[in-house]
Amino acid sequence: MSTEGLASFDFPSAGKPLMTWYRVYGEYGLSNGRRPLIILHGGPGVPCDYLSLLAEPLWLEYSIPTIIYDQVGCGRSTHLKEKADDPGFWTHKGVTYMFQEQLLQLKAHLGLKGEYDLLGFSAGGCLAFDYHVNHQDDGIQHLILASSPYDYSKWREVVKEQLRELKVLEIVEKHEAAATLEDPEYQAACEAWSGRHMSVLPEAQWPEELKRSLQMAGEDPTVSTILGGSDEFLKNTGLYSTWSAVGRMDQVKVPTLITNGVFDMIPSKCQKAYVDGIKDTEWVVFEKSAHLFHIEEPDKCVEVLNNFLRR
């Protein structure tokens, strides 16, 4: 059972009306003792369809009402192509500020006034972290940072190590320096990294929901490009490049679950900083997965989340 809709989002500097597309699995406000869970997608700029594979079983198997939505700039929410060359628009009051405001207004539209839980997947974890730190009295009871970088520049260094381990670093360096990114040799190097660290599933086995998210992200790469940077491995050009949780982890005041896959593009060495820096954490590593562990180990994933959210 799911319902979807559009919520208005008032953000004057956008210069036009904005809308947030959302989907709710189940019903919140019931007397079953389960708080709503809001899931924030990653990318940045990869719409939330792929997270329906997590949201739906959480409701059907564990009666956890779950909300997913597209952040502005992507998917079925309002797009912002005209802001592609306006970095000041995106960084006003901080690189996640607009998206924090979007979440606040979506909650108001949905009538969520009490306790709830918040999960940020990949780059969505940066937003979830900032939102919690800046809204301590907003009702969040549990925070989940799923395969999320604690520091973007440090993560880029880890990616370089991964390329070296795959013996493709020199190939990547050569072609990125020469701007020959369409060269088959470079494309093969990208596929080697993705096949090891994005998903252990062959692309032919990717679910339609994931393919749809990636297709929509590719149709309008405004957000992914200006926030995440170019597709090149070794250039940290996006506005997220300076994002870091370092020095702020002691401000997380709720139980926090840290998760990643053993082959994750954002691996355990990136998660350990969260585990060491946040006071009350659990840490689960999915031993058969890369980045998309909710697709690669779906049953274990929803079980882990359910157990944690029952704390």
Which tens digits make up the pLDDT trace of 238-294? 899 899 999 999 999 999 999 999 999 999 999 999 999 999 999 999 999 999 999
> What are residue 67's phi and psi, to 5 degrees?
-120, 130
How much is the pLDDT for 265?
Answer: 95
Do 45 and 124 form a contact (C-beta atoms < 8 A)? no
How much is the pLDDT for 31?
Answer: 59
Cα distance from N-terminal residue to C-terminal residue, the chain: 26
- Active site residue ranges: 122, 264, 291
How much is the pLDDT for 290?
Answer: 97
Using DSSP, how many helices (H) and how many strands (E) does the chain show? 12, 8
How much is the pLDDT for 124?
Answer: 97
Going 285 to 286 to 287 to 292, the CA torsion angle's sign is negative
Instruction: 4-13: list long-range contacts, CB under 8 Å, 24+ apart.
Output: 7/105, 7/106, 7/109, 7/110, 8/105, 8/109, 9/72, 9/77, 9/78, 9/101, 9/102, 9/105, 9/106, 10/105, 11/72, 11/98, 11/101, 11/102, 13/89, 13/92
Which tens digits make up the pLDDT trace of 244-253? 999 999 999 9
How much is the pLDDT for 271?
Answer: 95
**What is the separation of C-alpha 274 from the centre of its chain, rounded to a whole number of angstroms?**
16
pLDDT band at 103 (very low <50, low <70, confident <90, very high): very high
275 sits in which H/E element: helix 268-277
Pairing, β 37-40 against β 116-121: parallel
How much is the pLDDT for 29?
Answer: 72
Please give the DSSP secondary-structure letter assigned to residue 228: I
How much is the pLDDT for 30?
Answer: 61
Do 245 and 129 form a contact (C-beta atoms < 8 A)? yes
Section 156-175 average pLDDT: 94
Cα–Cα dist 119/86, whole Å: 29
Cα–Cα distances (Å) from 304 to 62, 282, 289, in that order, read: 11, 10, 14
Residue 231 has pLDDT above 80, yes or no: no
Going 116 to 117 to 118 to 119, the CA torsion angle's sign is negative
**What is the separation of C-alpha 175 from the centre of its chain, rounded to a whole number of angstroms?**
28
Which tens digits make up the pLDDT trace of 112-122? 988 999 999 99
**Order of strands across the sheet with 66-69?**
2-9, 18-25, 66-69, 37-40, 116-121, 140-146, 256-261, 281-286
Short-list 126, 152, 138, CA closest to 40: 126
Measured at the alpha carbon of residue 222, what is the angle toward residues 183 and 143, in degrees to the nearest 5? 105
Which tens digits make up the pLDDT trace of 4-57? 999 999 999 999 999 999 999 998 876 567 899 999 999 999 999 999 999 999
Which tens digits make up the pLDDT trace of 128-137? 999 999 999 8
pLDDT band at 229 (very low <50, low <70, confident <90, very high): confident
**pTM, 2 dp:** 0.96
Do 260 and 267 form a contact (C-beta atoms < 8 A)? yes
